[in-house]
């Protein structure tokens, strides 16, 4: 009898222990802190059905995202203003062999910049748009501070003037050659009022290849962008601009664009991703 009672007690205790252990295991909390192969951490569970979501940064407790410390340019690249490239009134307008100005276009804010020219008459080719003229005055003053004396040779040209000039070059050298150094009417930057050909104060090598390598040309190559101008037709970019190297041809585009063009060593065409332009 005692043996039977002892057996029952033992079996009862064993049953209680088995049930108790099962209950303990089933009640283990899921904390979500597993950092094994899944890489899942608290509050950042990744669904296997949406693997792309593992690249999404969730906000921290204070609401800051992983973009903290970024500047606007880091998070988005606004790029060039393509509307400005096609706007004849914009100082950033793109005019070349492919993109033309309206035939009747004439800037409404032409003024005479207070700088030295190779001639004394106040005529059309001495004029520039107001913003460009002011920048030119600053450019010439900066050059003089460095002991470099510049002179304007030719700035604004009307459509009719460009037509006469181009036709004269065609009669002299033929149309194909003329197009390597002169623009078809409507396609000339001089018609914008934002471009100017310059030389040294003595007028030597004005709009001529011999201007390259001079003290004045070297100074412009280094400092023109500081006042918003670029060497519009740089050496080695003929297949892009469509024109031979012209170290005397300055184009006002504003300081911001000029600085970027200089930093990247590109042309206005490359700035707008409007390439290639052939030399024909």
- List phi, psi (to 5°) of 195: -115, 150
Q: How many helices (H) and strands (E) does the chain have?
A: 10, 6
What is the per-residue pLDDT for 277?
62
Give strand pairing partners of 129.
Answer: 110
| pLDDT(17) > 70 | no
Euclidean distance between CA atoms 56 and 86, whole angstroms = 38
78 confidence band (pLDDT: 50, 70, 90): low
Q: Over 80: is that where the pLDDT of 21 sits? A: no
Please determine, for residue 20, whether its predicted confidence score (pLDDT) is greater than 80: no
pLDDT tens for 218-267 read 999 999 999 999 999 999 999 999 999 999 999 999 999 999 999 999 99
Rounded-to-integer distance, Cα 189 and Cα 232, Å? 9
Residue 119 pLDDT = 97
Residue 216 has pLDDT above 50, yes or no: yes
Q: HSE on the CB side for 275, CA within 13 Å? A: 15
Which has the closest alpha carbon to 266: 249, 58, 274, 54? Answer: 274
pLDDT exceeds cutoff 90 at 136: yes
Examine the pLDDT at 41 and tell me if it is beyond 80: no
User: 100 Cβ partners below 8 Å, 6+ apart?
Assistant: 184, 186, 187
The model's pLDDT over 148-189, given as tens digits with 9 standing for 90+, comes to 999 999 999 999 999 999 999 999 999 999 998 999 999 999
Residue 85 has pLDDT above 60, yes or no: yes
Q: Which residues pair with 110 in a beta bridge?
A: 129
Mean pLDDT on 197-211: 95
pLDDT category of residue 12 using cuts at 50, 70 and 90:
very low
Q: Is the pLDDT of residue 53 over 70?
A: no
Burial 106-133 (b: 16+ CB within 10 A, else e): ebeebbebebebbeeeeeebbbbbebbb
How is 173-227 classified by DSSP, letter by letter? H-HHHHTTTSPPTTS-GGGGT-EEEEEETT-TTTTSGGGTTSHHHHHHHHHGGGG
- Counting Cα atoms < 13 Å in the Cβ hemisphere of 4 gives 1
Please say if the pLDDT value at position 117 is more than 50: yes
Asked: is 84-271 a CATH 3.30.1380.10 domain? The reply is: yes
Task: Find the range with the poorest average confidence among 19-33, 154-168, 263-277.
Answer: 19-33
- Tokens describing residue 11: 């079996």
- At 77, the pLDDT band (50, 70, 90 cuts) reads low
What is the predicted pLDDT for the residue at 79? 79
* Mean pLDDT, residues 92-117 taken together: 96
Which residues are identified as catalytic? 246
């Amino acid at each position: 009898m005692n043996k039977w009672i002892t057996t029952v007690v033992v079996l009862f205790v064993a049953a209680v222990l088995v049930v108790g252990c099962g209950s303990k295991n089933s009640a283990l909390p899921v904390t979500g802190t597993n950092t094994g192969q899944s890489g899942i951490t608290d509050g950042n569970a990744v669904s296997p059905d949406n693997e792309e979501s593992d690249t999404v940064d969730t906000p921290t407790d204070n609401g800051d995202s992983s973009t903290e410390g970024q500047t606007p340019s880091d998070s988005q690249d606004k790029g060039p203003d393509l509307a400005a490239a096609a706007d004849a009134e914009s100082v950033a307008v793109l005019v070349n062999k492919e993109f033309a100005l309206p035939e009747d276009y004439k800037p409404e804010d032409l003024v005479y910049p207070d700088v030295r020219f190779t001639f004394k008459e106040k005529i059309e080719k001495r004029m520039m748009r107001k913003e460009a003229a002011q920048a030119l005055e600053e450019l010439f003053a900066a050059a003089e501070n460095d002991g470099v004396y510049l002179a304007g040779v030719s700035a604004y040209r009307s459509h009719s003037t460009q037509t006469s000039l181009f036709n004269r070059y065609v009669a002299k050298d033929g149309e194909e050659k003329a197009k390597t150094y002169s623009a078809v009417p409507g396609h000339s930057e001089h018609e914008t009022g934002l471009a100017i050909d310059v030389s040294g104060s003595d007028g030597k090598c004005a709009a001529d290849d011999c201007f390259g390598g001079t003290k004045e040309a070297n100074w412009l190559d280094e400092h023109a962008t500081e006042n918003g101008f670029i060497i519009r037709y740089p050496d080695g970019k003929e297949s892009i601009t469509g024109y031979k190297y012209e170290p005397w041809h300055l184009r006002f585009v504003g300081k911001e664009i000029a600085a970027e063009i200089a930093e990247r060593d590109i042309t206005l065409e490359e700035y707008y991703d409007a390439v290639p332009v052939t030399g024909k």
